[in-house]
Structure 1
Amino acid sequence: MPTDPPASPWKRSPQRPDAKPRAQRRTRGEEVVETSGSGAPAPHVARNEELRLYGFNAVQAVFARRPDAIRKLYLAEDRIPRLQPLLKWCVANRVGYRVVDEADLRKLAASAHHEGVVADVLREAPQSLTAWLETLPPEPCCALWLDGVGNPHNLGAILRSAAHFGVSAIFLPKHSPLALSGAAARVAEGGAEAVPFVRLGRDDNAIAQLRGAGFQLAATVVRGGEDVFAADLPQRLVYVLGAEGEGMDAALAGACDLRLSIPGSGVVESLNVAAATAVLLAQWARA
C-alpha cells in the first residue's frame, strides 16, 4: 500500500477536480478569488500566463528547476511514493494538490498520456535576442530557428533532441504563434525546461545580431543543399528549420549563409522536421 502524503491543502472529495474547497475561495459577484491559508487574496494570474503540464518527467523538470512556478497539482494515488518530495514541497509552500482518479486525470490533461500527474504552472516568457546574446558564453554554440513549425508533438520531439545535444536556444520569429503546450512538454520528457525560447524581432535585424555574435545561419532544405555529413559546420551555428510541406520562407532561406540537406535513399521524400533536427544536431555535435 502506498504511504499517504502529508496533509493536503485541498481536501479529498468526490467533487470535480477543477473545483476548489470552500475554505479556499471567496466570491465577488462572478469572480472567484483564491486565498492563501491566512485568507489574504492570492496574486492574480492571467489564464494565458499559466500552462497545464502533464507527464511525469515534464512535471518533475519544472519542480527541479523552478518549483515556485507550480500553482496546482493533481495526481493518481499510485504516484504518491514517487512524488513525495514534490508533495512535501507543496505542503511546505501551501500549494494545493489533490489525489484524483484516472477519469479526472484524462479530463484535466485532455489526454490519456498523463502518466499519473498533471500540474498547472506559470508559463516562462521567451527572452529577447539581445538579452540572450548578452549572457551567452564565448564558446561553440548551436541554436534552432523554427520557421512555421506548429505541430506540438514535433515541437516536443525537437525540444527533447535539443536538450540531449545541448542546444542553447529555440528562436521564434516575431509573429510566430508557436508556444509550449502540455502535449509538447510531455513529448519533450523534461527537455522543455532545459532549452530557452527566444523571441526574435525583424528577420533582418535578428540575422545581423547573430552574425555580429559570430553565428552563421544554415537553411535546412529537402534537396539542393550541401550534404550535411560532408559540410564543414561552423562552431557557432543556427539551423533554420521550416514547416513540413511548405518549408521555410524563401526570403529567409535566401538570407542564410549555408544551405544543408540530409541525403537519403530517396524511397521517401524526406525526414519529418523533428527527425531531421535530431540528425542535424548529432552532426553538429560531432563536428
Structure 2
Amino acid sequence: MRRSRPPGSVPPSRSRPEPAPRESRAPAGEARELRLYGLNAVRAVFARRPEAIRKLYLTEARIPALQPLLKWCVAHRVGYRVVEEQDLQRLAASAHHEGVVADVLREEPQPLSAWLRDLPEGPSLALWLDGVGNPHNFGAILRSAAHFGVAAVLLPKHSTLALSGAAARVAEGGAEAVPLVRLGRSDNALAQLRGAGFALAATVVEGGADLFRTPLPERLVYVLGAEGEGMDRDFAAACDLRLSIPGTGAVESLNVAAATAVLLAQWARSR
C-alpha cells in the first residue's frame, strides 16, 4: 500500500548523493562552498541567509521538521535529496549529522575597517583568536560568543582558521550569529581597535590580574592564545591588560573554549 503524506508536505526527491566539496583551511584557498551538518547549524543558515543554500540532503525522518526549508527549496529551485543514514554519514564525514547536510556558500570574513565603521557606539566585546585551531574548540567558542552577544571574532591575517562543518555543528547555530573579521598587520589592527575605544586583554594561564577582581572596560577585545602553547609573549606584553582565571590549581588551566565562556560571562556580568 502506498503511504500518504500530510497535506502541503513536500515529496522527497531521491538520487545518489554527491561527494563533498573540497574545503581548505587556508584563507587564500578557501572553498567557495562549505558543507554544513547538524539541525541547528542548517536551520540558522536558512533563517539568516537562505539564498546561500545550494543543495540539501536529509533523511526521511527529518522531512516534518524541515518542511519550511523544503518548500523554500522547491520555490527557489534548490535541489534536495532524501537519502539513507549511511549516505549522510559519508557526506558529512561524521556520525553527528543529525539527519541533515547542506552545501552552502561560505560567508567571507569582513575587513576590520568595515566592521569598525558599522559598529554601534557603546559597550562592545570581541574575541581575537591568536592561534586557536581545533574546529571543536572554535565551534564551542562561537556558541558561547553567540550566547553572550559578542560583536565579532577577529582572525589574524595569516591565521589558517576557517569555519568548517564540524565547527558549525558544535556552534549550534552560533556561527551565523557572530561575524568573522579578518585582520591586517597586528600593529595596524591594534592601532585601529584602540582608535575605536577598545582595550585589549591578553588571557594568560598565570601571571595575569585576577579576572574576577579586575574592572573590565566597556569596549574590550579578549585575546585568546593557541591550545597548549598559549599566547605569544611579545603580543601579550603589547596588550593593555593581562588576565588570568583563578582556580584551585588541581589542573594547569581550562580548555580554551571553557576559558572563553568564563571570560565572556564575567564581562557580561560587569555590564
Q: Please confirm whether the aligned pair reaches a TM-score higher than 0.5, indicating the same fold.
A: yes
The equivalent residue for 2:14 is: 12
Q: Would the aligned equivalents of 1:2 and 1:81 in 2 still touch at CA under 8 Å? A: no
The equivalent residue for 1:254 is: 237
The equivalent residue for 2:193 is: 210
Deviation at 1:245, TM superposition (A): 1.1
The equivalent residue for 1:84 is: 67
The equivalent residue for 1:65 is: 48
| AA in 2 matched with 1:195 | V
Distance 1:99 1:134, change over 3 A: same
| AA in 2 matched with 1:229 | F
Tell which structure's C-alpha radius of gyration is larger: 1
Matches within 5 A, 1:21-40: none
Which digits, 9 at most, give the CA deviation of each residue in 1:71-92, with x for residues without a partner? Answer: 0000010000010000000000
| AA in 2 matched with 1:3 | R
Which digits, 9 at most, give the CA deviation of each residue in 1:178-232, with x for residues without a partner? Answer: 0000000000000000000000000000000000000000000000000000000
Asked whether 1:52 is paired with 2:35, we answer: yes
Q: Distance in 2 between matches of 1:196 and 1:66?
A: 13
Q: Distance in 1 between matches of 2:126 and 2:76?
A: 36
Which ranges in structure 1 are unaligned for 5 or more consecutive residues? 20-45
Matches within 5 A, 1:255-274: 255-274=238-257
Deviation at 1:109, TM superposition (A): 0.3
Matches within 5 A, 1:210-249: 210-249=193-232
Q: Distance in 1 between matches of 2:91 and 2:223?
A: 35
Q: Distance in 1 between matches of 2:4 and 2:85?
A: 17
Distance 1:89 1:116, change over 3 A: same
Q: Distance in 1 between matches of 2:210 and 2:262?
A: 12
The equivalent residue for 1:35 is: none
Q: Distance in 2 between matches of 1:47 and 1:266?
A: 41
Distance 1:146 1:2, change over 3 A: farther
The equivalent residue for 2:88 is: 105
The equivalent residue for 1:200 is: 183
TM-score, length-normalised on structure 1? 0.87
Q: Equivalent residue of 1:239, what SS? A: strand
Q: Distance in 1 between matches of 2:64 and 2:11?
A: 14
Deviation at 1:251, TM superposition (A): 1.9
Q: Distance in 1 between matches of 2:194 and 2:38?
A: 38
Deviation at 1:269, TM superposition (A): 0.2
The equivalent residue for 1:42 is: none
TM-score, length-normalised on structure 2? 0.92
Q: Would the aligned equivalents of 1:3 and 1:80 in 2 still touch at CA under 8 Å? A: no
Which digits, 9 at most, give the CA deviation of each residue in 1:3-25, with x for residues without a partner? Answer: 374256xx424xx3118xxxxxx
Which digits, 9 at most, give the CA deviation of each residue in 1:56-100, with x for residues without a partner? Answer: 000000000000000000001000001000000000000000000
Deviation at 1:139, TM superposition (A): 1.1
Matches within 5 A, 1:127-146: 127-146=110-129
RMSD: 1.5
Q: Equivalent residue of 2:31, what SS? A: helix
Q: Percent of counterpart pairs with the same letter?
A: 77
What is the number of equivalent residue pairs in this alignment?
257
Matches within 5 A, 1:105-124: 105-124=88-107
Flag as ranges the 4+ runs of structure 1 deviating above 3 A.
Answer: 1-5
| AA in 2 matched with 1:17 | P
Q: Distance in 2 between matches of 1:84 and 1:251?
A: 53
Q: Distance in 1 between matches of 2:51 and 2:182?
A: 23
Deviation at 1:2, TM superposition (A): 8.3
